Amino acid sequence: MIFRWFIFFLVIIGFNWYSSLAVKTITKNSWIYYAYLLVNLLIVLNFVFQIILKNFSTYFFYSLGLVMVSIAFQISVIVFLFIEDFIRFPVWVYRIFGNGIENSLSYIPSRRLFISQLSILLASIPASALFLGMLKGKYNYKVIKHQLTFKRLPEDFNGFKIVHISDFHCGSFDNKEKLSYGIDLINKQKPDIILFTGDMVNNIADEILPWKELISSIDAPHGKYAVLGNHDYGDYTAWNSNDDKVNNLKKLIDLQKEMGFTVLKNAFKKIKINQSTIDLIGVENWGSGFKQKGDLDKALLNTNPNDFKILMSHDPTHWKEKVLTHNQHIDLTLSGHTHGMQFGIEIPGIIKWSPAKYRYKHWAGIYQELGQIINVNRGFGFLAYPGRVGIYPEITLITLQNKESLKSV
Ligand SMILES: [Fe+2]
């Protein structure tokens, strides 16, 4: 453990020193140089103290965010300096060969002022993006609308509106006013049903309490349904006893019920309009590399294979590994979990990129395979890094459409 901390500080000090060389090049004022070193060091020390004190409050996540801003800045500067050094080194070696080893240090070519200025200028872009992501990005709610057409959707469900939301991570919320705006935006879509696909909390059920009333105000005539996400089981925090952990999950489900959600744990519910019904199926978390309590076979028991089916499953890897290959046709699957890693670039029709794509094949938005559709919601809340850059909190509005009705238009 001590060895790991030693390596950690060695890397941090190394980054700080290397990137500071650019500051040293552009200013003769040594106060600015030492202030740069000190600020970066304080940011890291503050974060380490929060870890030692086990203070995993909102402040902890902000201190983590600041570390990310600082490291992003330093790495960006280092990239430039490293390229410059890559050129300076052979020049130095060449001079040594030409002039001899004596006074060899004085042969080192000096740093170009322009390179250092450019490195600091360009490094400010990712650093300030991460900073702004904490101030504004995380509450920059987006309503993303999809009209999806299905062959076997009953006529009565033509135009049925689903609001799909996911990953509240209640313990991360820190602004009631902004959250109220987001909740209001959900209700403004006037959905027929609201489907929440897991991760209501980060770790413990009590995270819901400050926001309970607000979340309760989400409303739809056909009700609101929820499933469990990997964070809901309390697996990422320490418990005094297993009973405490079990009771926490029970409390989480009870609180969701009190807020008006029906929690589907490997179960299904028939949604009825006039004489027509569709099956709404909800499974527990099933993720590749995560908890695998989801049991699609159990959830589908007593359903009719010919009926239109919507599945709520937190982790989109479940779709790829279990749902697509299942002998029953699941028309529409709704997932979350990826958060689009809260970082990326999205310009509709031009670019859609996030580091999330290297971990998850289906990481945001609509995908269609084998005649089945999945929507991966980018998440309503945020986790760890208390911000979002380029991938914003999402409220999905899905309007179902029957293929036959489309033909008759
Ligand atoms: Fe999540």
- Domain coordinates of the chain in residue numbers? 2-135, 139-408
- 122 CA to middle of ligand 1, Å? 32
pLDDT tier at 407, thresholds 50, 70, 90: low
Neighbours of 42 (CB within 10 A): 12
Q: What is the mean pLDDT of residues 343-360?
A: 94
Q: Measure 228 CA to ligand 1 centroid, in angstroms.
A: 10
Give distance in angstroms: CA of 82 to centre of ligand 1: 37
Q: How far, in Å, from the CA of 113 to the mean position of ligand 1?
A: 45
Rounded to the nearest whole angstrom, what is the distance from the C-alpha of residue 258 to the centroid of ligand 1?
22
Measured in Å, residue 187 CA sits from the centre of ligand 1 at 22
| Residue-level pLDDT at 20 | 93
CA of 407 to the centre of ligand 1 (A): 39
On whether the CB atoms of residues 203 and 236 are closer than 8 A, the answer is: yes
CB-based contact 333:311 (threshold 8 Å) = yes
Cα(165) to centroid of ligand 1, in Å? 11
Q: Quote the CATH superfamily of domain 139-408.
A: Metallo-dependent phosphatases (3.60.21.10)
CA distance 189 to 18: 51
Q: How many Å lie between the centroid of ligand 1 and the Cα of residue 229?
A: 7
Say which residue, 57 or 135, is predicted with more confidence: 135
Question: Residue 271 Cα, ligand 1 centroid: separation in angstroms?
Answer: 27
Q: pLDDT by residue (tens digit) across 175-231?
A: 999 999 999 999 999 999 999 999 999 999 999 999 999 999 999 999 999 999 999
The pair of three-digit structure tokens given for residue 305, joined into one six-digit string: 């294979």
- For 27-37, how does the pLDDT look when each residue is reduced to its tens digit (9 = 90+)? 888 999 999 99
Residue 142 alpha carbon to ligand 1 centre in Å: 17
What pLDDT is recorded for position 8? 87
Give me ligand 1 centre to Cα 251, in Å: 19
pLDDT tens-digit readout, 45-71? 999 988 888 777 788 899 999 999 999
pLDDT of residue 98: 77
Task: With beta carbons less than 8 A apart as the criterion, state whether 306 and 278 touch.
Answer: no
Distance 402 CA to ligand 1 centre (A): 32
Three-state secondary structure of the chain: CHHHHHHHHHHHHHHHHHHHHHHHHHCCCHHHHHHHHHHHHHHHHHHHHHHHCCCCCHHHHHHHHHHHHHHHHHHHHHHHHHHHHHHHHHHHHHHHHHHCCCCHHHHCCCCCHHHHHHHHHHHHHHHHHHHHHHHCHHHCCEEEEEEEEECCCCHHHCCCEEEEECCCCHHHCCCHHHHHHHHHHHHHCCCCEEEECCCCCCCCHHHHHHHHHHHHCCCCCCCEEECCCHHHHCCCCCCCCHHHHHHHHHHHHHHHHHCCEEECCCEEEEEEECCEEEEEEECCCECCCCCECCCHHHHHCCCCCCCCEEEECCCHHHHHHHHCCCCCCCCEEEECCCHHHHECEEECCCEEECHHHHCCCCCCEEEEECCEEEEECCCCCCCCCCCCECCCCEEEEEEEEEHHHHHHC
- CA distances in angstroms from 179 to 149, 174, 214, 270, listed in the order given: 32, 8, 8, 31
Say what the pLDDT of residue 112 is.
83
pLDDT at 408: 47
